[in-house]
Amino acid sequence: MIRLAPSILSADFSRLGDSVAMIERAGAHLIHVDVMDGHFVPNISFGAAVMKSLSGKTTLPFDVHLMIEDPDRYLEDFVTEQTEYITVHQEACVHLNRTIQHIKSMGVKAGVALNPATSLSTLDFSIEDADMVLVMSVNPGFGGQKFIPSAIEKVKELRTLKMERNPQLKIEIDGGINLDNVKTVTDAGVEIVVAGSSVFGAGDVERNVREFLAKTGQK
């Protein structure tokens, strides 16, 4: 099953609880939580307190994407009963295997994100340990960017690696995903789709979610 994870980075923060309720009613599967520190990426978003404020307002699991330096210092802050994934960037982790094991030791699934220019070869000695790999299809830091087409080939290569070395691995994509390209990325092998501005910044949020689900064969 293809899962849709709308990114609250693009939501209306004055009505965040209402925005999350809308995507849940429409059938979204996860809440994608983009955390930025202004160092690893050139933008600052929000921290664990904002995510935790949604606990009790939704039953959707949290899909946490840490775009921060030294993520090990903050992992525990994002562990809740609703946290399904915590994803760290390969580029930000000096000891990636240790970070993956740290995440899993807290009962949360571990994801590894790769920037557009980062090769899949950087996962040669950790792909068996990861629960998910997030392919960035824009350079991280800002919402609303244009999709980088080379991500498609990276997803296809990752799907091959998955089948050879870790069949349980999930493939996620984040950046520039819209109704025009979502079917292309899922056909390539993506199983979790992150969409931000194309869900929250394009009119009727619930209709947008339903249209994404229809494009991926969900409804």
If residue 22 lies in a helix (H) or strand (E), which one and from where to where?
helix 16-26
Percent of the chain with pLDDT strictly greater than 70: 99
Of 18, 34, 63, 72, which one is the catalytic site residue? Answer: 34
Q: Which residues are annotated as a binding site for substrate?
A: 7, 65, 141-144, 174-176, 196-197
As given in the structure block, the two tokens for residue 165 are: 């070395």
* Most distant pair of Cα atoms in the chain: their distance: 46
Question: Is 3-215 a domain of CATH 3.30.470.20?
Answer: no
pLDDT at 7 over 80: yes
pLDDT at 54 over 90: yes
Q: Which residues are annotated as a binding site for a divalent metal cation?
A: 32, 34, 65, 174
Contact 144/104 with Cβ under 8 angstroms?
A: no
pLDDT at 63 over 90: yes
* Annotated catalytic residue 124: no
Q: Which residues of 144-161 are buried (b: 16+ CB within 10 A; e: fewer)?
A: eeebbeebbebbebbbeb
pLDDT at 81 over 80: yes
Sequence-distant (6+) residues with CB within 8 A of 122 are 90, 114
Q: Which residues are annotated as a binding site?
A: 7, 32, 34, 65, 141-144, 174-176, 196-197
pLDDT at 219: 59
Domain extents in the chain: 3-215
As given in the structure block, the two tokens for residue 168 are: 């349980």
pLDDT digits (tens, 9 = 90+) for 110-147: 999 999 999 999 999 999 999 999 999 999 877 677 99
pLDDT at 203: 84
Q: How many residues does the chain have?
A: 219
Task: Spell out the long-range contacts of 19-23 with Cβ–Cβ below 8 A and sequence spacing 24 or more.
Answer: 19/200, 19/205, 20/54, 20/57, 20/58, 20/60, 21/57, 21/58, 22/205, 22/206, 22/209, 23/60, 23/199, 23/205, 23/206, 23/209
* Annotated catalytic residue 34: yes
pLDDT digits (tens, 9 = 90+) for 161-204: 999 999 999 999 999 999 999 999 999 999 999 999 999 987 89
pLDDT at 42: 87
Of 37, 63, 129, 174, which one is the catalytic site residue? Answer: 174
pLDDT at 49: 95
